[in-house]
Structure 1
Amino acid sequence: MNAAQKRRLLRALFLLLVLALTGLGAYRIPTTQQYIREIGTYSVLEFDDGDTIVVDMNGVPEKVRFIGVDTPETKDPRKAVQCYGAEASEFTKQRIGTQPVRLESDPTNTNRDRYNRLLRYVYLPDGTLMNAELIRQGYGFAYTSFPFEKKSDFVLYQDQAMQTHAGLWGACQPVLNEYGGYTSNDVPAT
């Protein structure tokens, strides 16, 4: 084999190597994050508060924050227990009970929040969307500080709950926060 043939052979091998590596790049093994984005049904391990649960995700406990709803705080060490927080937590616990929940991500939202909780819509086996139910029944506020697909629906549910004095809207004195949304405090309605 002369020098010219060796160069052609080396170029051909190099080209094959590049093509092989490029082809491998196109086929990616799904990451844990990709699996986590998929819709799935999971057992609830814990109820953290009204808008946060812990689920068993294939043997791994994952904290899940309900997208688009904010219930009054009960466990934030920096804050007093807020008006209607205990009721919101109890409602979530009783409504879900031992049922498995179906989790769905929102394509317009991030996968996790700044506390590394999964952000999800939480559905019951009967199709009830817990995120919306909390707002409709007055256990939580529409959390509008970021984009999500169901935002306009959640704001409508909040307006209806406010007009009928449902839940915290009749029991507490919600205040506007610096982000333009509502929040609870530790003051009951007078």
Structure 2
Amino acid sequence: MVLFSCILSTINKGATLMFNRKSKLLKPIAAVALSLSLLGSSFTPFATQESNYAQAAAPTTAVTSKVTEVVDGDTIKVTYKGKKETIRMILVDTPETKDPKKCVQLFGKEASDFTKKSLQGKNVKVELGVQTRDKYGRILAYIYLDDKMFNKTLLEKGLARVAIYPPNTQYLEELQAAEATAKQKKLGIWSNTNATNGGCAPKTSAPVKPKPAPTKPAPPAPKPKPAPAPKPAPAPKPAPKKESFKNCTELRKKYPKGVAKGHPAYDSKHDRDKDGWACER
């Protein structure tokens, strides 16, 4: 820079001298001197220039919100200004894991796992895009974790690709540079041609349970012993023969005191007083 100033000063002095002598070279030299003067006034050494892709810090307007759920790699649920909201990150698209019309794409699970590990339960800052919501009602935003844009982190890891949906293009060049670096390093989806083309992740089959070892059949239960046959009931004693007497005189010849009711010789016609005793004296 000092050398440049010296050269410029010398040229300016030469130009002044030429003016005094009215040289024929007056006009060309004056023009060169003027151009270099303008260049010197605007020149900034390369070492002091800021990168065009310096990390964007969270703006003061960003709202601190708590992540309550990670839906997939680029979609989260938060408590935003006291309300439960779903946020779709701007300018990034991670491989699908939830779309019912698509398969689970390569590196989709890795992207979801990374976002969950990084953001679940954390406080983040939310910077809204120019268009604040999509057709599904989700907030469109840039997410900052520890003052670093998480959208960019996904691209740096090779877990997302740039997805452009105007008018939300505020940090497009910065994010495209992050994607280009991941491509060059062949990180994540850029390490696999199938992943780059949205290929499906292989389905993980459930572990096959080993067949149980054959068991010997249990021995048959012993047959129950037959119950002993019941003993035959004793034959009833034959009822005594009914005795019939013409009158009490005849009956008393055999049974002087008469007979009670139920006696083979009892006959109700001989029991006149109906006391259950026939031919009593």
Q: TM-score, normalised by structure 2?
A: 0.47
Larger radius of gyration: 2
Q: Which residue pairs with 2:178 in the alignment?
A: 157
1:66-100 deviation digits (Å, cap 9, x = unpaired):
01100001001111111110000001111123220
Which residue of 155, 165, 170 corresponds with 2:191? 170
Is the Cα contact below 8 Å between 1:52 and 1:63 reproduced in 2? Answer: yes
Letter in 1 for 2:184: Q
**Distance (Å, rounded) in 1 between the aligned partners of 2:149 and 2:180:** 18
Q: Which residue of 1 aligns with 2:152?
A: 132
Identity between Structure 1 and Structure 2 (%): 37
Residue 125 of structure 2 aligns to a residue whose secondary structure is: strand
Tell me by how many angstroms 1:103 deviates.
Answer: 0.1
CA distance, structure 2, for counterparts of residue 185 and residue 146 of structure 1: 27
Task: Please give the TM-score of this superposition, normalised by the length of structure 1.
Answer: 0.69
Aligned partner letter, 1:63:
T
Which residue does 2:73 correspond to in 1? Answer: 50
Aligned pairs for 1:7-156 within 5 A: 39-106=62-129, 109-124=130-145, 126-147=146-167, 148-156=169-177
Structure 2: runs of 5 or more not aligned: 1-60, 203-281
Equivalent residues of 1:84, 1:172 under 8 A apart: no
Structural RMSD (CA) = 1.6
CA separation of 1:136 and 1:116: change in aligned 2, threshold 3 A: same
What amino acid is the match of 1:140? A
Please give the alpha-carbon distance, in whole angstroms, between the structure 2 residues aligned to 1:145 and 1:129: 18
Q: Which runs of no fewer than 5 residues in structure 1 stay unpaired?
A: 1-37, 176-183
> Counterparts of 1:172 and 1:88 in 2: how far apart (Å)?
17
Residues paired across the two proteins, number: 140
| 1:48 Cα deviation after fit | 0.5
Per the alignment, residue 5 of structure 1 pairs with none
Kept in 2: contact 1:50–1:85 (CA 8 A) = yes
Post-superposition offset of 1:152: 1.1
Question: Match for 2:162: what amino acid?
Answer: A
Greater RCO (Cα-Cα under 8 Å, separation 6 or more): 1
Alignment deviations for residues 83-134 of structure 1 (CA, whole Å, 9 cap, x no partner): 110000001111123220100013xx3111121110000001x212110000
CA contact (8 A) 1:172 1:187 kept: no
Q: Which consecutive segments of 4 or more residues in structure 1 shift more than 3 A?
A: none
Q: Deviations over 1:8-47 (max 9, x none)?
A: xxxxxxxxxxxxxxxxxxxxxxxxxxxxxx5210111110
